[in-house]
Chain A
Amino acid sequence: MAEARDVEFKDPAARVADAERASASLAPGQEPGELEGEKMVLNVGPSHPATHGVLRIVLELDGEIIIGARPEVGYLHRGDEKIAENFTYTQFIPYTDRLDYLAPLANNVAYALAVEKLLGIDRQLPPRCQYIRVICCELARISSHLLGVGCYAMDCGAMTVFLHTFTEREKIHNLCESLTGARFTTAYTRIGGLSRDMPPGWAEQCRKFLNEVVVNIDETETFLTRNRIFVDRTQGVGIIPRDVAIDYGLSGPNLRGSGIEHDLRKAHPYLVYDQLKFAVPVGTTGDCYDRYLVRMEEMRQSVRIVHQCLDQLPDGPINVPDGKIVLPPKDRVLTRMEELIHHFINVTQGVNAPPGEIYFGHENPKGELGFYINSKGGGTPHRLKIRSPSFVNLSILSWLLPRHMLSDVVAILGSFDFVMGECDR
């Protein structure tokens, strides 16, 4: 007869404490005792489902406890900054789609606003353009967070959530398609405006989607927020204190998860964000669970913003009325001399930017996407630097991962919601 025995599970925190005690009692140079195992180096990625792309982390393990972590990035480096130096400002817009490819619309808007700041026209954009751009940014935020939360849940073992959020995300892509002509590679903005206006009936489709997505967000919360397994895997894991978050330059939901109420839409309102009502959710402890909660609430706030924009959406032009910046309408190009010249100069030489340097930070779904443009005049930047939130956010891993269990790596990576296309540029 087999004897039934109770298996004793130790709390992870207690195991970490035990490991610390064990390593502390060991004098330097002393051989590890019988109970202490060999150190093991484990490669996570670059092709691993939890690394969401091509991140590689070299982990040093003592049993199941991480004692060292070295993130390696660059597997998706395409030299975007070098390419930008050889292109006109307008030509670079499609490349911004490929930065954070889960929120291309937000990248388009960020880049266009940066170039417009350099040109000094960022406050002269027509109101309709500004409202449509805000709608784009917030739809991109909802889309990115839906994917981020869905994948995060799947990393933690809940498959249903992923399918559930992807259904909603699909609707955003349909909206993108009818608005911009493309589902992912939108390239929707132009310097000084947009590539096209909203199609008729789009606002109603968008409202219908918003009413559906709030239901979906609530349902997703019932899957996760009080799910015992999910809470166990995320609460108290990957805690980032306030000062460390600032020190490592975190931004976006990862910064706000640590309790810092900083949102560029509030701190330095661009477009029409100062006329819209929304709240900035913040976490309390800075653990993975808080970062998840912040994202869930941000989606609700985004829905609120898009509703307000659709209510207030003014009529009027979508481009600045300056042929030196925006391409003139085609019928006039073909019939009038001045427009023809503008068109020719605009296409061959690009917009004539003044010499100078600007930095524009945009509140992207993943954090602060910044463009630093150094111009020597003319149609191409002398230097364009992309400050990508994922790159900066990932740099904290070598500090954050040690002392956690190996299985926590998946939970922590998922809670960061990074994109390697943006990190590696």
Chain B
Amino acid sequence: MTALELAQQLKAKFGGLISDPVEFRGEVTLKVSDAERMPEICAIAKQDLGFDYLVDITSVDNYGDDPRFAVVYHLYGFGHLCALRLKTDVSEEKSEAPTVTGVWRTADWHEREIYDMMGIRFRGHPDLRRILMWEGYPHFPLRKDFPLAGKPTDVPEVAFTETAPLAGGPFVTIAGGKDTIAREPRVRVPNTNALETNARLEQLQDIKEAHGHSHGPGPTEPKH
């Protein structure tokens, strides 16, 4: 049984819903015209055609095209060792597709990743949260209109910065000093004469006052 035969069998079951198989570099791709029918098609592919292993689900952003997104499913069967790729389009307005976690449980994390990176929601997913980015992150980084350099975000509470516990203490570098001696209190001051040492101590005192006595430099502003 070849992948092409299996693809044709799947097409025979659903008729016009599935396009003719396309072969490229020995891989067979089927295009499903209605994303809503994906779970049904996947269930049939798994039960009747032996595609028991879901290798991967991923998404492609065809920015500028309509519909904008494509969701790509890579199916595999241990019985016949054939692979099959299913593709379906999802429009930007909808940005939603039904989940296939009911067919293969491995779809869980793949769908979370697509939601996280591309912003396509999976209806019926048991736990649709961000997975690689943190909870509360506002953007979808793999979209083509997201710049490579990133976008500023208000840092949410999960990614707060606080003064380090030892800041302002004797062994912590003081930010903002003009030379290493001023920044680093542990640096040995060449003890040439008392006058110079006094000047050095005053300088340190000034820096301490500038930053507040016991708390050290305060939390830095998030950089935009």
Q: Mark B47-60, 1 if CB is under 8 A from A, else 0.
A: 00000111110101
Bound CA–CA A246/B77 (angstroms):
10
Interface of B is mostly: mixed
Q: How far is the CB of A237 from chain B (nearest CB, A)?
A: 21
With CB as the reference atom, state the residue of chain A lying closest to B148: A86
Q: Mark A374-400, 1 if CB is under 8 A from B, else 0.
A: 100000001101010001101100010
Residues of chain A lying within 8 A (CB to CB) of residue B78: 246, 260, 262
Bound CA–CA A424/B130 (angstroms):
13
Instruction: Please determine whether A372 and B72 come into contact, CB atoms closer than 8 angstroms.
Output: yes
Instruction: Please determine whether B105 and A359 come into contact, CB atoms closer than 8 angstroms.
Output: no
Interface-centre pick from B24, B56, B130, B131 (highest chain A CB count, 10 A): B56
Bound CA–CA A247/B78 (angstroms):
12
A197 at the interface (CB under 8 A from B): no
Instruction: Please determine whether A392 and B106 come into contact, CB atoms closer than 8 angstroms.
Output: yes
Instruction: Please determine whether A358 and B55 come into contact, CB atoms closer than 8 angstroms.
Output: no
B83 at the interface (CB under 8 A from A): yes
Q: Mark B85-128, 1 if CB is under 8 A from A, else 0.
A: 10000000000000000001110111001000100000000000
Q: How far is the CB of B103 from chain A (nearest CB, A)?
A: 9
Instruction: Please determine whether B55 and A356 come into contact, CB atoms closer than 8 angstroms.
Output: no
A73 at the interface (CB under 8 A from B): yes
Bound CA–CA A247/B58 (angstroms):
18
Quick one: given A73-B131, A77-B133, A395-B106, are A359 and B60 in contact (CB under 8 Å)? no
Residues of chain B lying within 8 A (CB to CB) of residue A424: 132
Bound CA–CA A40/B155 (angstroms):
29
Quick one: given A262-B78, A267-B81, are A382 and B56 in contact (CB under 8 Å)? no
Interface size on B, residues (CB 8 A): 35
Residues of chain B lying within 8 A (CB to CB) of residue A399: 105
Instruction: Please determine whether B25 and A356 come into contact, CB atoms closer than 8 angstroms.
Output: yes
With CB as the reference atom, state the residue of chain A lying closest to B137: A74
Bound CA–CA A394/B83 (angstroms):
23
Bound CA–CA A368/B74 (angstroms):
13
Q: Mark B37-80, 1 if CB is under 8 A from A, else 0.
A: 00000000000000011111010110000000000101000100
Instruction: Please determine whether B60 and A382 come into contact, CB atoms closer than 8 angstroms.
Output: yes
A102 at the interface (CB under 8 A from B): no
Bound CA–CA A83/B147 (angstroms):
10
Instruction: Please determine whether B25 and A117 come into contact, CB atoms closer than 8 angstroms.
Output: yes
Instruction: Please determine whether A359 and B106 come into contact, CB atoms closer than 8 angstroms.
Output: no
Bound CA–CA A359/B148 (angstroms):
24
Bound CA–CA A246/B54 (angstroms):
8
Bound CA–CA A42/B51 (angstroms):
38
A79 at the interface (CB under 8 A from B): yes
Bound CA–CA A271/B202 (angstroms):
71
With CB as the reference atom, state the residue of chain B lying closest to A76: B132
Q: Which of B24, B27, B109, B131 contacts A392 (CB 8 A)?
A: B109
B134 at the interface (CB under 8 A from A): yes
With CB as the reference atom, state the residue of chain B lying closest to A249: B106
Instruction: Please determine whether B148 and A83 come into contact, CB atoms closer than 8 angstroms.
Output: yes
Segment 333-348 of A: residues with Cβ below 8 Å from B: none
B141 at the interface (CB under 8 A from A): yes
A81 at the interface (CB under 8 A from B): yes
Q: How far is the CB of B83 from chain A (nearest CB, A)?
A: 7
Q: Which of B61, B110, B131 contacts A383 (CB 8 A)?
A: B61
B142 at the interface (CB under 8 A from A): yes
Bound CA–CA A117/B55 (angstroms):
18
Instruction: Please determine whether A387 and B55 come into contact, CB atoms closer than 8 angstroms.
Output: yes
Bound CA–CA A246/B60 (angstroms):
26
With CB as the reference atom, state the residue of chain A lying closest to B53: A246
Q: How far is the CB of B145 from chain A (nearest CB, A)?
A: 12
Segment 139-165 of A: residues with Cβ below 8 Å from B: none
Q: How far is the CB of B138 from chain A (nearest CB, A)?
A: 16
Instruction: Please determine whether B52 and A372 come into contact, CB atoms closer than 8 angstroms.
Output: no
Bound CA–CA A200/B90 (angstroms):
55
With CB as the reference atom, state the residue of chain A lying closest to B106: A249
A82 at the interface (CB under 8 A from B): yes
Instruction: Please determine whether B141 and A249 come into contact, CB atoms closer than 8 angstroms.
Output: no
Q: How far is the CB of B125 from chain A (nearest CB, A)?
A: 13
Mark A residues whose CB is within 8 Å of B.
73-74, 77, 79, 81-83, 86, 117-118, 120, 246-249, 260, 262, 267-268, 356-359, 361, 368, 370, 372, 374, 382-383, 385, 387, 391-392, 394-395, 399, 424-425
A-B pairs with beta carbons under 8 Å apart, 25 shown: A74-B130, A74-B131, A74-B132, A77-B132, A82-B148, A83-B148, A246-B52, A247-B106, A248-B105, A249-B106, A357-B24, A357-B72, A357-B85, A358-B25, A359-B27, A359-B55, A361-B55, A370-B74, A372-B72, A385-B56, A385-B58, A387-B56, A387-B58, A392-B110, A399-B105
Taking A81-B142, A356-B24, A387-B74 as known contacts, 17 extra A-B pairs with beta carbons closer than 8 A to each other, sorted by chain A number, are: A82-B142, A82-B146, A82-B148, A117-B25, A118-B25, A247-B106, A249-B53, A268-B81, A358-B25, A359-B83, A370-B56, A372-B58, A385-B58, A385-B72, A391-B113, A395-B109, A425-B132
Q: Report, nearest first, the 9 A-B pairs whose CB atoms are least far apart.
A: A249-B106, A74-B132, A385-B58, A395-B109, A387-B56, A77-B132, A383-B60, A356-B24, A247-B105
